[in-house]
Amino acid sequence: MSQLANKVKSDFPIFHNSDLVYLDSAATSQKPQVVLSC
């Protein structure tokens, strides 16, 4: 994976766990850590 992809991925807490199963839904979206910290 590229450095840029790793940098972007590190901003989203959902990607910190390697055992990820994410079922996408129109009602949900992933938020960067900086948004969650506000």
State the amino acid at position 9 in one-letter form. Answer: K
List of residues 6+ apart from 15 with CB closer than 8 A: 9
Where residue 34 falls among pLDDT bands split at 50, 70, 90?
Answer: confident
Is the predicted pLDDT of residue 33 greater than 70, yes or no? yes
Evaluate if residue 11 carries a pLDDT over 80.
Answer: yes
Residue 29 has pLDDT above 80, yes or no: no
CA dihedral 12, 15, 20, 25 (to 10 degrees): 20
pLDDT of residue 22: 67
Range of the domain at 28: 3-33
Distance CA 31, CA 14 (A): 9
How many distinct structural domains can be found in the chain?
1
**Most distant CA atoms of the chain, gap in Å:** 30
| Inside any domain, residue 8 | yes
38, part of any domain: no
Task: Quote the tokens at residue 22.
Answer: 């994410």
pLDDT at 15 over 70: yes
